[in-house]
Amino acid sequence: MDIINSLNFYSFNTGLSNWLWSHKQMIVTSWIAVLLVLYGDELNKLLKRIMRPYHYLLRMLSFVVLCTVGYGFIAIYSEIGVNQLLSFVHRHWFAGIVIFIYLLLGFLAERKHQA
């Protein structure tokens, strides 16, 4: 009986991993988006602290550049990096990794009181 149950779990895990793998790009994009939402204010505070001694127009311009170019750059290149890291992982483990990372992101959001 245990062999039958383990085979059913194995086929379910494999099916789920394969289905999630086909949506890998969207999943990775959501991870990066959540991280930018959670920690974007920290980047803004860092920029504000660095640019404090400069003129108001320069501070405003740096904020606009960070929001338009900086966050886009971070999103695009971090997605590429995460996708390359995931290419080293066997597909069989992908469902567990996705579930773990979503739980980790939920935990991080809860710690920042944004959930």
User: Residue ranges of the domains in the chain?
Assistant: 2-111
Band the pLDDT of 5: cuts 50, 70, 90. low
| 44 Cβ contact partners less than 8 Å away, ≥ 6 residues apart | 63, 66
pLDDT digit string (tens) for 69-88?
A: 999 999 999 999 999 999 99
pLDDT exceeds 60 at position 31: yes
Q: Please answer whether residues 81 and 58 qualify as being in contact, where contact means their C-beta atoms are separated by less than 8 angstroms.
A: no
